Amino acid sequence: MLKVKNLKVGYGNVPVIFDLSFEVRQGEVVAIVGSNGAGKSTLLKTISGILRPSAGEILFCDKRIDNIPAYRIVEMGISHVPEGRQVFGKMSIKDNLMLGAYVLRSESEKAARLREVYELFPILRDRENQKAETLSGGEQQMLAIARGLMSNPRLLMVDEMSLGLAPFLVDRVMDTLKVIRNKVTVLLVEQKVQEALEIADRGYVLQNGRLAMEGSGAELLESDIVKKAYLGL
């Protein structure tokens, strides 16, 4: 579904990602893990068209997307749940969700997506008229994921889902990915290595903008390098 080939990305003259290649197959949950500053968020911003690579290619369903505007990438079927949730705090939960559906043409299609999202996240339906800022951190993360699903994406990219959440909320939010994985392909960027690899079909370890390791989620969890560098074992 997604192929990244020899990607190089930077900010001005400062390189961040070096010659990176990986792929995501339809129906998978793929985790990209690594420490803070490894280039994970930069990678997702580049795939979604917010940043432009200095070299390399990004293909989505065999079509090159690294040279088209971000809004067109959303229309093609990629949705990006940004780091830090970025919900619109003064707007209602329902209005936040409807903003995620702006690419859908018909009102009936928008209503159908809203029903599906409410089935996944009943707490959002129960509180749809509350301001988003009244939700807890974990609930805001659910809202951000739900908003990403409103565009009916083929690929959902989720950036640092656990950021700023208490451990029990991290488990709760990770559980939502287990539910939606049957509906959409997921590319997950995460600092919490163990939690991400436990739900991932495959994973890639990013270090200083370079691919350090790859394998199934189970294989990486058993790797001595991963255990030592990221799990404190």
In this prediction, residue 59 carries a pLDDT of 98
pLDDT of 138 reads: 81
Q: What string of pLDDT tens digits covers the 233 residues of the chain?
A: 999 999 999 998 899 999 999 999 999 999 999 888 889 999 999 999 999 999 999 999 999 999 999 999 999 999 999 886 788 889 999 999 999 998 998 999 999 999 999 998 898 999 999 999 999 888 888 899 999 999 999 999 999 877 777 777 777 778 878 888 888 999 999 888 888 999 999 999 998 899 999 999 999 999 988 888 776 64
With contact defined as beta carbons under 8 Å apart, do 8 and 14 qualify?
A: no
Q: Residue 80: give the domain boundaries.
A: 2-230
Query: How many domains does one find in the chain?
Result: 1
- Beta strand residue intervals within the chain, DSSP E: 2-11, 14-24, 29-33, 55-60, 63-64, 78-81, 155-159, 185-190, 202-207, 210-216
User: pTM for this one?
Assistant: 0.91
State residue 232's pLDDT score: 63
Looking at residue 86, which CATH number applies to its domain?
A: 3.40.50.300
